[in-house]
Structure 1
Amino acid sequence: MIRVAQWGTGNVGSLALGAILDDSTLALVALKVGRPENVGRDAADLAKRRSGAGSTGVLATDDSSVVLAARPDCVLYMDHDRDRGPQVIDELCALLSRGVNVVATTMPMLVHPDGAGPEVRARLQEACVAGGSSFLCTGIEPGFTADVLVLQFASLCRDVRSVRVAEAMNVASYRTKWRSGLGNDIRSDGETYRPGHIARGWTGTMRLLADGLGLELDDVREVRHVAAAGREFEVAAGRYGPDDIAALHFEVQGIVAGEPRLVVEHTYRLLDDVGPEWTQPVDPGRRTTRIRIGGTPEVDVTMSLGGEGLDPTDQGVLGTAMRAVHAIPLVVAAAPGLRTNVDLPTRSQMPRQPKNVSA
Structure 2
Amino acid sequence: MQEARLAIKVALMGLGAIGRGIARCALQKHDLEIVAAIDLDPHRVGRKLSDVVDAPTPEVVIGSDAGAEMRKAQGGILLHATGSRLDRIEGELAQALTAGLCVVSTCEELSYPWLRHPEIAERLDRLAQKRKLALLGTGVNPGFVMDRLPATLGAVCGHVGRVRVTRVVDSRSRRKQLQLKTGAGLNEEEFDRGVDEGTIGHVGLMESAALASLGVGLEVDEVDESIDPVEAEEDMQGDDFTVPKGGIVGLKQVARAFHDGKEVAVLDLTI
Q: Under TM normalisation by the shorter chain, which class is it? A: 0.7 to 0.9
Q: Which runs of 5+ in 1 are unaligned?
A: 269-359
Q: CA deviation at 1:48?
A: 5.0
RMSD (CA atoms): 2.6
Partner in structure 2 of residue 165 of structure 1: 165
Does the Cα contact within 8 Å between 2:218 and 2:264 map onto a contact in 1?
A: no
Q: Deviations over 1:5-25 (max 9, x none)?
A: 111122221111112222211
Q: Please say if 1:74 is aligned against 2:77.
A: yes
Residue 43 of structure 2: SS of its match in structure 1? helix
Residue of structure 1 in register with 2:13 after alignment: 7
Contact 1:3-1:74 within 8 A present in 2 as well: yes
SS in 2 for 1:115: coil
Aligned to 2:220: 217
Aligned to 1:44: 50
Equivalent residue letter for 1:56: P
SS in 2 for 1:210: helix
Question: Quick check: 1:103 aligned with 2:109?
Answer: no
Question: SS at 2:192's partner residue?
Answer: helix
- Highest RCO, 1 vs 2 (Cα 8 Å, sep ≥ 6): 1
CA distance in 1, matches of 2:79, 2:29: 14
Pair 1:190 & 2:196 matched: no
Q: Residues 142 and 87 of structure 1: is their aligned pair in 2 closer, same or farther, counting only changes over 3 Å? A: closer
Aligned twin of 1:26: 32
The alpha-carbon deviation at position 238 of structure 1 amounts to 4.0
Does the aligned pair in 1 maintain the 2:163–2:213 contact within 8 Å?
Answer: no
2:23–2:53 contact (8 Å) kept in structure 1: yes
Q: Take 1:160 and 1:58, find their aligned partners in 2: how far apart are those partners?
A: 49
Question: What secondary structure does 1:170 align onto?
Answer: coil
Q: Which whole-Å CA distance do the structure 1 matches of 2:78 and 2:52 have between them?
A: 17
Deviation of residue 69 (structure 1)? Answer: 2.4
Question: Which digits, 9 at most, give the CA deviation of each residue in 1:282-315, with x for residues without a partner?
Answer: xxxxxxxxxxxxxxxxxxxxxxxxxxxxxxxxxx
Corresponding residue for residue 300 of structure 1: none
Residue pairs, 1:197-212, within 5 angstroms: 198=201, 201-212=204-215
Matched, 1:175 2:181: no
Helix, strand or coil for the counterpart of 1:38?
coil
Note the 1:252-271 alignment, pairs <5 A: 252-268=255-271
Q: Matches of 1:164 and 1:193 in 2, distance apart?
A: 24
Q: CA deviation at 1:198?
A: 5.0
**What is the match of residue 94 of structure 2?**
93
Q: Per the alignment, do residues 252 and 232 of structure 1 end up closer, same or farther by CA in structure 2, a change over 3 Å counting?
A: same
Moved more, 202-211 or 34-43: 202-211
Q: Residues 90 and 162 (structure 1 numbering): CA distance in 2 closer, same or farther, change over 3 Å? A: same
Is the counterpart of residue 123 in structure 1 residue 123 in structure 2? Answer: yes
How far apart in 1 are the matches of 2:26 and 2:130?
Answer: 28
Q: Secondary structure at the match of 2:270?
A: strand
Quickly say closer, same or farther: Cα 1:139–1:16, change in 2 above 3 A: closer
Question: What is the distance in 2 between the residues matched to 1:167 and 1:181?
Answer: 18
Q: Which moved more, 1:118-127 or 1:199-208?
A: 199-208
SS for the counterpart of 2:150 is helix
- The structure-2 alpha-carbon separation of the partners of 1:191 and 1:161, relative to structure 1 and needing over 3 Å to count, comes to same
What is the percent sequence identity of the aligned residues?
A: 25
Aligned-residue offset at 1:239: 4.8
SS at match of 1:193: helix
Q: From the superposition, tell whether residues 231 and 202 of structure 1 become closer, same or farther in structure 2 (CA, over 3 Å).
A: closer
Structure 2 equivalent of residue 251 of structure 1: 254
Return the alpha-carbon distance in structure 1 between the equivalents of residues 250 and 140 of structure 2.
20
The 3 A distance-change label for structure 1 pair 218 and 195 is farther
The match for 1:114 is 114
Q: Note the C-alpha offset of 1:256.
A: 2.6
Structure 1 residue 66: Cα displacement? 2.4
20 and 158 in structure 1: CA distance in 2 versus 1, 3 angstrom threshold: closer
Q: 1:32 to 1:152 in 2, by over 3 A?
A: same
Cα distance change of structure 1 residues 87 and 67 upon mapping to structure 2, 3 Å threshold: farther
CA distance in 2, matches of 1:215, 1:172: 36
1:64 aligned partner, one-letter code: A
Residue matched to 1:323: none
Q: Give the paired residue count.
A: 261
The AA in structure 2 aligned to 1:87 is R
